[in-house]
Structure 1
Amino acid sequence: MPLPPSPFLSSVMQIEPQWIDYNGHLNMAYYNVMFDRAIDEMWLQLGIGPAYMKERNGSTFTAECHVRYLREIHLGDPVQISIFLLGADEKRLHTFEELRHATEGWLSATSENMTIHIDMNARKTAPFPPDIRARIEAVAKAHAAAARPEGIGRKIAMPSK
């Protein structure tokens, strides 16, 4: 299977009507749904999707997530998510995702995540198998050459005076 592009681009997604809240825009919870769907697409490319869990009893869990909501998305807006694999080790994947309007290109939200590999039999963290680790390293190396998006490593704090 070829390596995912750098950055990885999800399929174009549509906002579902039930995701719109009383403010007339996408409810914050559904940004995470779209980010998760995009990550699932990339995991398939890395070989760690549902078949991996079923055949090898390994999976991934999100350990930490930081979402920034930058511009409203509305019903009818097509969106696409780019994913940067910022770093990886034997048990962790550090990703940064950008949700953009698919035709106009403007940035709506970002999500920075730390994902851990899980041995589903023990339900504990475990190293990725060597073949998967090699694929992850190849993708991380390719993504390291891409320009880093703004917002990586942000923290929540009150503005300085």
Structure 2
Amino acid sequence: MLDRIDFEPLFFAPFVSSSMRVEEEWTDYNGHLNMAYYSLIFDRAMDEALSLLGLGPDYAGRRGASFFTAESHVRYLRELPADSPVRVALRLVDYDEKRLHLFQSLHHATEGWVSATSEQMALHVNLKTRHVMPFPDDVLERIATMRASHAALPTPEGIGRHVGMSPRL
């Protein structure tokens, strides 16, 4: 993972994470990936994408700011057994001077099907005051570039959904 940006990044649409593998200890007594570890996988992919924006661990140390997730909505669509190879596709849906709206889909890395999606709102936070703060201008420029590359993507299935009872299954 990148710790600093010393080049102008190229933003693919969508961003696709490194390949990961479902570890045996991440599975539960049902024989599939436990729900807590879906969040771990999504978080690791988000860290990769944020590093490309220049917002990785080095940024937190140098500028005293980072990201906190304010809200997330995960949909579990298909089981993943231990040892499954996975990748996450991430798109920047929207942003403003302090927030990122992201949508991620977890894919089986060799077969391509979607196992889960995660939609989240991330806040740019001053690590000393623990308050939300605006992005620096150089970061906003990279965010705008990423958003422009993601703008042509079709609306993801499931974005904006809420939790509630649907018609009978």
Q: State whether structure 2 residue 132 is matched by structure 1 residue 128.
A: no
CA RMSD of aligned residues (A): 1.0
**Counterparts of 2:146 and 2:77 in 1: how far apart (Å)?**
28
In 2, are the aligned partners of 1:4 and 1:42 still within 8 Å (CA)?
no
SS in 2 for 1:68: strand
Structure 1, gaps ≥5 residues long: none
Aligned residues: 161
**Counterparts of 2:39 and 2:127 in 1: how far apart (Å)?**
23
Aligned partner of 2:19 in structure 1 is 12
User: So what's the TM-score if we normalise by structure 2?
Assistant: 0.93
Residue identity in the other structure for 1:136: I
**Counterparts of 1:22 and 1:14 in 2: how far apart (Å)?**
18
Aligned with residue 44 of structure 1, among 39, 45, 51:
51
Structure 2, gaps ≥5 residues long: 1-7
Identity among equivalent positions (%) equals 53
Aligned partner of 2:85 in structure 1 is 78
- Deviating above 4 A after TM superposition, structure 1's stretches of 4 or more consecutive aligned residues are none
Aligned with residue 90 of structure 1, among 84, 97, 100:
97
- CA offsets, 1:5-54, max 9 Å, x none? 11000001001111010000000000000000000000110001100000
